[in-house]
Structure formats: structure tokens, C-alpha cells
Amino acid sequence: MLYIFCPHCGLRSQNEFAYGGDATVKRPELNKEISDQEWNNFVYLRKSPRGKHLELWHHISGCRQWIKVERDTSTHEIFKTYKADELTE
């Protein structure tokens, strides 16, 4: 069982959250010509590192806010959590 610290609600069990995937992918800028390659990079390509991974979680059975979680993908240790719009280190 993972315990995730929601910046809005405090420590909660993973059962309250839905996973939202890699938080480092960036959508191509709006109102600009976007190449197929840029779409491909954004929609499909993932680093999927072994080790530290910054990811989105949705506190869907809690405050319903999206948060960012920095977690180790091999030990499941959670280092830090952020609000969705908070800058990460």
C-alpha cells in the first residue's frame, strides 16, 4: 500500500487516488505550427526511468485535486509531493 501526502488533505492511502502518468511531458505550445514529430514526442514517448519519477496523481476520492508526486519506481519510496501548479525542483 502506498501512502501519498496530498498537499491539500494530508497523508492518505493510495486507494483514494487515481494515477495520471508522467508529469514531465509538455504539450507543444498553443497557436503554433506543430509537427507530427512534436505530437509524437508529447503523446507517445516516455522516458519511464528506473528510479526517481515525477508523476501526476488525482485525489479522486478526496479533494479531487491533481497533484505531482516524486516517487522511486523501483522502491516505491515517495520523496516529495507538490500541488499541480507548484514548481518542482
Site for other proteins, rule CB under 8 A: 1-2, 14-15, 19, 21-22, 36-37, 40-41, 43-50, 53, 55, 71, 73-76
| Amino acid symbol at 56 | L
Please report how close the Cβ of residue 65 comes to other proteins at its closest, in angstroms.
Answer: 18
Q: CB-wise, 8 or 46, nearer to other proteins?
A: 46
Nearest-approach distance from CB 41 to other proteins, in angstroms = 8
* 31: CB partners within 8 A, 6+ apart: none
Shortest Cβ 86–other proteins spacing (Å): 20
Q: Which is nearer to other proteins, 40 or 88 (CB)?
A: 40
CA neighbours closer than 13 Å in the CB half-sphere of residue 3: 3
* 7-40: b (≥16 Cβ within 10 Å) or e: beeeebeeebbeebeebeeeeeeeeeeeeeeeee
Q: Compare residues 21 and 28 and give the one whose CB is closer to other proteins.
A: 21
